[in-house]
Amino acid sequence: MNAPLRPLKVVTVSGSLQEPSKTVSLTEHIVQTLATRLPIENHRIDIHRLGPGFTGARHPDDLPEDVLQEMRLLAEADLVIAASPVFRASYTGLFKHFFDLIEDQYALANKPVLLAATGGSDRHALVLEHQFRPLFGFFQALTVPVALYASSGDFDGLQILNPEVHARIEVAVDDIAELLRARVGAHEEAAPV
Ligand SMILES: Cc1cc2nc3c(=O)[nH]c(=O)nc-3n(C[C@H](O)[C@H](O)[C@H](O)COP(=O)(O)O)c2cc1C
């Protein structure tokens, strides 16, 4: 039997520019499903809320303390959920700006990252593979193989109705739970008492 785990730190980054947000709805569903498998504490960073000190920053030295604190939480996470609406066949500009301003290029190295996106059309689902995954490849992050996409037709308002999206979330979450159990469990066994 597996030993009980400490609550795992999940940090969700949402690149949406609006509220309510389909992207946030997708990430909340992922987090709720993950919580049925593992003890977790989720912290969400809504990029559009970071304010003019963030949007006007050109260098990490320009960032206000509250944004630097969000970046520290990201670096300490056991799992990052990196999610954005698709804008012009990519993530939003503000989503990229946030990652551009992370000073330490190894802050996410070897860190599990689940990629997620929402778009108006199913035709842009591979944006996760062609745009999102390479960005986290730069950071040497451990992107999990199953990425999650939902398009407008999968939603009724903010509710995800398409059972195929639900099924894919289950698959992704099963993979992540197994990965996190192995990583965190092994780390805790190795830690001195
Ligand atoms: C400026 C802009 C550009 C967009 N570009 C695309 C696109 O290239 N492909 C696509 O599938 N959807 C596109 N969309 C639709 C959004 O990705 C979609 O509505 C998304 O679910 C919105 O997420 P949110 O509610 O979290 O903001 C675009 C929307 C906007 C406002």
pLDDT of 17 above 60 = yes
Q: Going by CA atoms, what residue is nearest to atom 31 of ligand 1?
A: 87
Q: How far is the CA of 87 from the centre of ligand 1 (A)?
A: 5
**Domain limits, the chain:** 8-190
Peptide bond into 20 cis (omega under 30): yes
CA dist 69 and 91 (Å) reads 23
Decide: 88 in ligand 1 pocket, CB within 6 A: yes
Decide: 120 in ligand 1 pocket, CB within 6 A: yes
Please tell me whether residue 7 adopts helix, strand or coil conformation: coil
Whole-angstrom CA distances from 85 to 82, 93, 177 are 11, 10, 25
Average pLDDT (23-27) is 98
Percentage with pLDDT > 70 across the chain:
94
pLDDT digits (tens, 9 = 90+) for 91-120: 999 999 999 999 999 999 999 999 999 999
DSSP 79: E
Q: Going by CA atoms, what residue is nearest to atom 5 of ligand 1?
A: 87
pLDDT digits (tens, 9 = 90+) for 47-89: 999 999 999 999 999 999 999 999 999 999 999 999 999 999 9
Decide: 89 in ligand 1 pocket, CB within 6 A: yes
CA dist 23 and 26 (Å) reads 5
pTM, whole model, 2 decimals?
0.96
**CATH architecture under which domain 8-190 falls:** 3-Layer(aba) Sandwich (3.40)
Tokens standing for residue 100: 């551009």
End-to-end alpha carbon distance in the chain: 20
